[in-house]
Structure 1
Amino acid sequence: MTTTPARRRALVVRGGWDGHKPVEATDMFVPFLEDSGFDVRIEDSNAVYADREEMDRTDLIVQCVTMSEISPEALAGLIGAVERGTGLAGWHGGIADSYRNSSDYLQLIGGQFVTHPARHPDQREGGEADNFLCYTVDVTDLGRTHEIMSGVEDFTLRTEQYWVLTDDLNDVLATTTHPVQPYHPWHRPVTTPAVWTRAWGKGRVFVATPGHSLPVLRDTSVRTIIERGMLWASRTASE
């Protein structure tokens, strides 16, 4: 007699700044989650994090909320859920620039967006493309041994290149380097994480900084990394 494996539960929380298309972006990944054995619940508010019962039966949180706010109750619920084993995954500002005013959230995530350097002033036209640069995502030695990055080679994107502040608790799977330009004030190249994982209590956190737009999320390497990152972060039946 065979038994059907229990389906896992994924919670998609989306909102904040609409420029990152949180609805359309997360909708891209819902079919993948469902095909991977998840029942998916979608919420347009982070207030659900304060629901202890819901959090305890959630195996994976996929968050796409940029430049927003979170209540003390919701934040405590999110942190507590991850500490107890719920996975947390996201990309770009939806996870790395969600709640700027919360130091506890920043500690949980392990990185905070601070800027995306712009093009030369003479090339700027006043639109979002002023911040689009051609840059390389470089897989680290650790990344080459990790299941999330397996078979992924260094790749190039033309989009926002995130500069993030981070700490040493992150396991960095890929980096990107901001070069020295005569029109920028820094004086040497700066390398920052582009993809990382983080252990927090019994839970796992996954962050990928590429993902500004739907075309970037459709990039084969970016999409592969995000899909694998969500699966990696999720609580499993053995946990």
Structure 2
Amino acid sequence: MTKALIFYGGWDGHEPEATSAIVERMLADEGIDVRREAGTGVLAEDDLGRYDLIVPMTTQVQIDKEALQNLIAAVEAGTGLGGFHGGMGDAFRMEPAYQFMVGGQWVAHPGNIIDYRVEITRPDDPIVAGIGDFDYRSEQYFMHVDPGIEVLATTTFNGTHAPWTKGTVMPVVWKHRYGAARVFYSALGHVASEFEQPQMKEILCRGLLWAARES
């Protein structure tokens, strides 16, 4: 059976306990054996490699260097990594090695909660196939990203809240490889209520299943 680890915590504004519980149920419904733990202490365990998928859901926290290296080593060896919004894209702000693995890092969300458009760029990819472009209301993430990621969806900044960003096309959903692992990220999902948006939830579910190591 596929095994997944969710670790959650950090800034309460992202509702980490509630959102991690939703993801736990979502993965369990797909037949995955899920372990959900508060904090980053679990990452210090010697056998992280027994998990097929690790889902970070913690924002703006510090992590012990050895625990971070343990996580990176597990992913390099083939444990999939997948997540969303600040829980993965702003988990360890002071750790560039983690950001290198993720493929990007949050830096701003001009205007905070706003309406914007998500455009699917790879409609042939199974993670986003059949979904199509959609409107979304949340934080529109401006990120620093690895140019080598495979972008599945983007958003375009109109410059209303930061005029110098007008016309900037920003990745919203991506995947890539890191070592022997698959890595998936979606910038959508600020709070638990956003899981009521069907496109957001479906993309995340498909992406996490894709990232999980195949048994």
TM-score band, normalised by the shorter chain? Answer: over 0.9
Match of 1:192 among 159, 163, 170: 170
Structure 2 gaps of 5+ residues are none
Cα deviation, residue 199, structure 1: 0.3
Match of 2:118 among 129, 137, 155: 137
Cα deviation, residue 8, structure 1: 1.2
Q: How does 1:224-239 map to 2 (within 5 A)?
A: 224-237=202-215
Q: Give the residue type in structure 1 aligned to 2:116.
A: Y
Q: How does 1:20-39 map to 2 (within 5 A)?
A: 20-39=14-33
Structure 1 residues 39 and 185: CA distance shift in structure 2, 3 A: same
Cα deviation, residue 185, structure 1: 4.2
**Aligned match of 2:76:** 83
Match of 2:147 among 168, 173, 185: 168
Cα deviation, residue 188, structure 1: 3.7
Q: TM-score, normalised by structure 2?
A: 0.96
Q: How does 1:36-47 map to 2 (within 5 A)?
A: 36-47=30-41
Q: Give the residue type in structure 2 aligned to 1:169.
A: G
Cα deviation, residue 137, structure 1: 0.6
**Aligned match of 2:184:** 206
Q: How does 1:97-136 map to 2 (within 5 A)?
A: 97-118=90-111, 131-136=112-117
Q: TM-score, normalised by structure 1?
A: 0.87
Alignment partners' CA distance in 2, 1:187 and 1:24: 33
Secondary structure at 1:88 match in 2: strand
**Aligned match of 1:177:** 156
Alignment partners' CA distance in 2, 1:95 and 1:78: 13
1:158-209 deviation digits (Å, cap 9, x = unpaired): 111000110112100000111123x634064111100000100110111000
**Aligned match of 1:217:** 195
Moved over 3 A (4+): none
Match of 1:61 among 47, 54, 72: 54
RMSD: 1.2
| Equivalences, count | 215
Structure 1 residues 81 and 149: CA distance shift in structure 2, 3 A: same
Alignment partners' CA distance in 2, 1:187 and 1:25: 30
Match of 2:88 among 88, 95, 103: 95
Secondary structure at 1:144 match in 2: coil
1:202-225 deviation digits (Å, cap 9, x = unpaired): 101110001001221220000000
**Aligned match of 1:126:** none
Alignment partners' CA distance in 2, 1:187 and 1:233: 31
Cα deviation, residue 40, structure 1: 1.0
Alignment partners' CA distance in 2, 1:208 and 1:85: 20
**Aligned match of 1:149:** 128
Structure 1 gaps of 5+ residues are 1-6, 119-130
Alignment partners' CA distance in 2, 1:60 and 1:50: 16
Alignment partners' CA distance in 1, 2:3 and 2:125: 24
Structure 1 residues 63 and 25: CA distance shift in structure 2, 3 A: same
Identity of aligned residues (%): 40
